[in-house]
Structure 1
């Protein structure tokens, strides 16, 4: 199990200027964060926090890969990810998140970046993720092909819906 304590940063303890943190994330991190969409992967996240008085500029660079199901064959696949993200943190009376601004209680001054990093990872995953051509599970692709052919109404078979036949007549006239 990953220790998420390493992601809790004491903002008051940071020196003026740049402070750099490196995080290597693997399966235990995704388990500990109870990630809803990503359960496995290997990702490196580098965080630079520039302190200017009581304002903190957080720059994240995240790269690596996560394991997600292929949209075609449903088999697991490695999806490369890379992102650069930015947040600003400041002290205030209550903790709040508003767009790219995080307000941290001054009496606590601890900022947990574990969930922010996960959100950046999830947002960097493309909407469509499929294996490279020829890498999908052949058995699943055969089943998919059979169902796709039956649904589209092959030339040798009767269309599933009579409206398709009417549309085919219109198409053939043109």
Structure 2
């Protein structure tokens, strides 16, 4: 069983250069968080940490899949995940989140736990509506039909727009009475 400590990076004794880390995430990783959205998965996160005197730059490259429940059929399915994110951490007087991609930690901080960042990046990459792949294909076909219907109703090209002046015969005669109100 994995613990949050498995996702710690000791930053206190690191030299000022680039360092690479790999973290494997499976069902036990997602069980560490109190949530019901992600049922499990298998992912590999490659984290490249570039340390300077005043700044840590973490580049996350996360690939794999997570197991979700379909919103339509309640079936479980695997959702592919391919994420690239960058997090900047600067040193300052207190620990604080300054922006979504900019954090501040004290110079005395010994370790940096990236588990919450990994989980957040994965969670934010998921689609709002979780659909089994077979429904996504059906949805794509429906969208294509809707686009075709909309574009055929709209009229389309400019040549047909030039000839629209000849279509006054097709207008309901009740509209002619409204034109005379001016």
Q: Is this a same-fold pair by TM over 0.5?
A: yes
- The alpha-carbon distance between structure 1 residues 44 and 127, as it changes in their structure 2 partners (threshold 3 A), is same
Cα distance per residue 1:82-101 (max 9 Å; x no partner): 11001111222211112211
Structure 2, unpaired ranges of 5+: 137-182
Q: Secondary structure at the match of 2:133?
A: coil
1: CA distance, partners of 2:52 / 2:36: 35
Task: Give the match for residue 108 of structure 1.
Answer: 109
Cα distance per residue 1:48-97 (max 9 Å; x no partner): 00112231111000111111111210111111111100111122221111
Aligned-pair RMSD on alpha carbons? 1.8
Cα distance per residue 1:6-60 (max 9 Å; x no partner): 2122222222221001001001111123345223111111100011223111100
**1:72-91 alignment runs, 5 A limit:** 72-91=72-91
Cα distance per residue 1:134-167 (max 9 Å; x no partner): 79xxxxxxxxxxxxxxxxxxxxxxxxxxxxxxxx
2: CA distance, partners of 1:35 / 1:15: 37
Q: Calculate the TM-score normalised by the size of structure 1.
A: 0.71
- The alpha-carbon distance between structure 1 residues 35 and 61, as it changes in their structure 2 partners (threshold 3 A), is farther
Which aligned segments of 4 or more residues in structure 1 are displaced greater than 6 angstroms? none
- Aligned pair count reads 135
Q: Calculate the TM-score normalised by the size of structure 2.
A: 0.68
- The alpha-carbon distance between structure 1 residues 38 and 75, as it changes in their structure 2 partners (threshold 3 A), is same
Structure 1, unpaired ranges of 5+: 136-174
Q: CA deviation at 1:108?
A: 2.5
- The alpha-carbon distance between structure 1 residues 125 and 134, as it changes in their structure 2 partners (threshold 3 A), is closer
Q: Which protein shows a greater Rg?
A: 2
Q: Which has the higher helix share?
A: 2
Contact 1:69 1:75 (C-alpha < 8 Å) held by counterparts: yes
Task: Give the match for residue 156 of structure 1.
Answer: none
Task: Give the match for residue 10 of structure 1.
Answer: 10
